[in-house]
Structure 1
Amino acid sequence: MRIILVTGTGGAGRTAVATATALAEARAGRRVVLVSGDTGDTGDTGADVADTGPGTLRLLTPTPAADFRREFLALQARSTTALDLLGTTPFEDAELTELPGSAQFALLRAVRDAAVTDADLVVVDLPPLREALALLALPEQLRRYLRRLLPPERQAARALRPMLAQLAGVPLPAQWLYETTARWEAELAAVQEVVDSPDTGVRLVVEPGPAASDALRTARLGLALQGLALDAVVANRVLPADSADPWFAALAAEQHRHLAALREEHPAVRELPHLGRAPRGPEDLLLLAVEDTPAAPVPGWRVEDRREADGILVWHVPLPGAVKDGLSLVRRGDELLLAAGPFRRNVPLPAVLRRCTVTGAGLVEGDLRIRFTPDPGLWPKAAP
């Protein structure tokens, strides 16, 4: 299954592009699922989006409020004993309102649900760029938090909890807590598998202008830090270059200068015309469709073994657009805390590097090279 994640700068028309792409692929005969919680950018399309011809198009809309109430009430029901001990009054469905962050979790759940359908293609309308990058990093981050707070190995001692509770005189964490954690871990792992799949691609929608190149650099750096690739840049609302009006021609020339700058930074730039109005119905949307292309290769994080030359190993981390002053590296146990510009990630070290010490790092043309020296106390000794 092919999955296209569409994001972009605010107001650039990412929702219209995502909807148009899904509609065009459905009309070409494919089974398509469009995941979108925002219908404000598509114009007056209404139910006409479902008129796809030979294929099928299903709209999957996240339900943040309903998801939040369902999860909260289920958690409350499983913790009745503990809440009774505290003398708390349980909440009822009618008095619950969703909390900040519910929309992000609902969107991730919708992406997971779409990935297990029989669709040929899933198009996901993500939030604006910065929010989208944070959203794509969320499953891995939350799984790390769960493992730290409730390590899986503690569950092996669950058979001892009744006896320990009698000795201590207080109830210990109930089995439902570990079961709930395991369920959350499974759901997050399923979402992360979708995001990390080689069949998943990311598209950036921008309007040619001063902010477009900055958005592209931000997208490439943020995605690369997560080990993801940018498939294509979609330049939306491009003005025609052959106008006889000097004022209009100057605007078009300015746009095309920015388009040239985008092409210098990314090889796959797709242009979409300015319609002169908001898209009205499927026929207008089809003018904004971007044909599907193979997913871009994921930037490889590789370990170079140079022990025979200078006794070190080098971990190559591609970070296009990174600058030296914006980089930070901290080794903590078997993880590397890596910061690049405004982005951070806790990266598990490859097994071969866990027995080494960090001895330096350098940034060469977007390639972060972290040097490791084998620790004699941990490295296997060669046979005599």
Structure 2
Amino acid sequence: MGVEVSRLSNGLTVATETLPSIESVALGAWVKSGARNEREDEHGMAHLLEHMAFKGTRRRSAFQIASEIENVGGEINAATSVETTSFYARVLSNDVPLAVDILADILQESEFDPEELEREQNVILQEIGAAHDTPDDVVFDHFTETAFRHQTIGRSILGTPETVQSFTSRQLHDFMERQYGAERMVMVAAGDVKHDEFVREVEKKLGSFRSKAENAAPQYAQYVGGDFRENRDLMDAQIVLGFEGRAYHVRDFYASQVLSMILGGGMSSRLFQEVREKRGLCYSVYAFHWGFSDTGIFGVHAATGQNDIAELVPVIVRELQRAGEAIAQEELDRARAQYRAGLIMSAESPASRASQIARQLLLFGRPIPKEELMERLGALTIERLTDLSSRLFSTRPTLAAVGPIGTLAPYEAVLDTLPGIEVAARKLAV
């Protein structure tokens, strides 16, 4: 049947997709507000708010929220990203009204009780500590902080112990009122769901939700790049090398996604074959491309022993440069097949499908048909990918490394292996 979309009088977008042979429904509210929407003194507040959403409302205690959804065999959760926050549930089709009621209760009636807040702040402090003890988490935090230095888009979503402990219930209420408006939210359901019935339930519970949020758009992101290193006494070294990527809306976004698959999207990818299989320089290596609303970042992550670090980075750089020289048709076809299979497989999961629809509505204002995505993939050519590679890997690099990294070449030496970078881009960030 495809995706059906309605808009309530307050501006809230409601979308559904019926999935055959599915007897459950994945549904949720997605808000166009995430970690980068925080003010300077609010670092970590979006994530704390997500945690506090299940800690009690005027109608339900924290236990009642959990027990009511689990009494019908359902589950409920939330997530915070750089640009969005989501509150979602999975239930059998008959229990959709209950799930909508609980989600609406959370969005409109959360109390942020001070005692619950103090307990949850301690939980997040433990989460921050656990992340600090996980080298592959630490290296990515420093990678984004270096790529987007002194900008909210580059900060850790978790916040710091100092900021998290400083927040009050009043600040959480103010943040939610400032950030959450119906015009910046979507309610999506996928699975055994009827559109008209779902719209009626959402209208009943959220039809009076405030229309507009007062918060201004986040600061426009500017990729900076640079170098971060932390010597730690570990068994292996975590290294991330990255470059300025592409935003969701630009022409090269899907080409960048496919390029990341060609370079490091599986065991047949260039980096895996050259770095791991042929040279044995690391036990893990992959490429990724993250798109945001106004920027992006393309990177390669590798985990290796200290004896192989000196050789590893030059080999990775060379493989990136080779992509600007030649890409085989077989590689492009394989990456297309991977991307297509991923889209089809995710469509078979109600939760994945609901999330995908919500993301498209928030970013593009409409659901993007699978056929349109396939057409975009089909339009990609070898010439376009090699041209993108030569431009992509000529931007100022971001290098982050954690572990026994004493033999890692200096940042300037890495720049010297990238002759395409302009002289101005070689200056280290202040």
The bucket for the TM-score relative to the shorter chain is under 0.3
More helix per residue: 1 or 2?
2
Specify the structure having the higher radius of gyration (Cα). Answer: 1
TM-score normalized by the length of structure 2: 0.23
TM-score normalized by the length of structure 1: 0.25
